[in-house]
């Protein structure tokens, strides 16, 4: 069976994520302690006991999700190594791409976590400098939505399509006024719906240009290895295995759209039969079912879902 591992991004965080796994499996306790040492503060405490508001802050959210996702992957690797050997592709949504690349061996845990920390800080700076937001738009064709974005935005107050998540679901990002104007126009479309997202900035839009530039400088000074299992990257939905290409694409990802539907369809075309979402929440599981309901998908975020995976795959 061809298996693909998927890793969630920002927005999947929930207070207490990973805590039950930490308490159940002592094998990953060292993972969280190492994360504290790398970052220089007690992020484990924020992950397990922080409020929803604390976890929403970009500079906390991104390292937290990466730490939990990579801990779960490490646990699966220990408990069912043959399952890892069946993996043919990996992919991660936005921040999750770092989790996917770490799982594929592009960089070790310390390097990955420091890169995520830089990414979160640069993006947080852009959020504070440029007031932006995001919204999910349902039930509008891409061409029609593009026209609305052009009507509502301009160079100083952009309105851009940034996440192509599933059929009929596109996320837009940009200046707060532009996004609000778009949401008003969406109401005039029959069967369409616009939902403002509870985020701190306009991720993957041109308002993140400075963050992308700074991140590129950091990435090109970092050790990123070639990998043996391809990662389908967000910015182009193509298989990537070369370290230098990984650097380029991770930089592009910050201020370019996430082609998630294309990413999943690419893996389906390549014969992937089972998708496994690793990390907090079931966002990617839900999106996959909208893209292709016939494909099998499991998620792992706690002891019960981990047990379910192991029982099904060991049967």
Please list the residue range(s) of the chain that carry CATH number 3.30.70.250: 131-200
Using the structure block, give the residue that is written with the tokens 């852009």.
126
Domain 131-200 has CATH 3.30.70.250: yes
CATH of 3-127+207-314, one of 3.40.366.10, 1.10.10.10, 3.30.950.10, 2.30.30.140: 3.40.366.10
pLDDT band at 198 (very low <50, low <70, confident <90, very high): confident
pLDDT band at 270 (very low <50, low <70, confident <90, very high): very high
pLDDT band at 99 (very low <50, low <70, confident <90, very high): very high
List, for residues 106-119, the tens digit of each pLDDT value.
999 999 999 999 99
Catalytic residue set: 94, 204
List, for residues 124-141, the tens digit of each pLDDT value.
999 999 999 999 999 999
Please list the residue range(s) of the chain that carry CATH number 3.40.366.10: 3-127+207-314
């Amino acid at each position: 069976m061809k298996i693909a591992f998927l890793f969630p991004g920002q927005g999947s965080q929930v207070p207490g994520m990973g805590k039950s796994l930490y308490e159940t499996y002592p094998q990953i306790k060292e993972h969280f302690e190492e994360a504290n040492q790398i970052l220089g503060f007690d992020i484990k405490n924020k992950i397990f006991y922080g409020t929803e508001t604390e976890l929403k802050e970009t500079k906390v959210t991104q390292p937290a999700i990466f730490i939990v996702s990579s801990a779960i992957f490490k646990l699966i690797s220990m408990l069912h190594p043959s399952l890892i050997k069946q993996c043919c592709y990996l992919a991660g949504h936005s921040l999750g791409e770092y989790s996917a690349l770490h799982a594929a061996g592009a960089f070790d845990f310390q390097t990955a976590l420091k890169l995520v920390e830089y990414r979160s800080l640069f993006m947080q700076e852009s959020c504070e400098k440029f007031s932006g937001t995001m919204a999910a738009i349902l039930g509008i064709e891409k061409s029609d939505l593009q026209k609305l974005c052009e009507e509502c935005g301009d160079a100083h107050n952009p309105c851009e399509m940034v996440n192509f998540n599933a059929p009929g679901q596109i996320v837009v990002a940009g200046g707060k006024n532009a996004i609000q104007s778009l949401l008003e126009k969406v109401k005039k479309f029959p069967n369409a719906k616009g939902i403002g997202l509870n985020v701190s900035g306009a991720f993957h839009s041109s308002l993140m240009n400075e963050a992308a530039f700074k991140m590129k400088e950091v990435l090109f000074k970092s050790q990123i290895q070639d990998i043996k299992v391809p990662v389908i990257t967000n910015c182009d939905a193509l298989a990537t295995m070369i370290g230098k290409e990984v650097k380029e694409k991770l930089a592009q990802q910050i201020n370019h759209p996430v082609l998630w539907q294309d990413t999943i369809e690419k893996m389906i075309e390549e014969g992937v039969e089972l998708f496994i979402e690793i990390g907090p929440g079931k966002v990617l599981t839900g999106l996959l079912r909208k893209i292709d309901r016939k494909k099998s998908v499991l998620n792992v975020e706690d002891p019960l879902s981990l047990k379910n995976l192991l029982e099904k795959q060991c049967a």
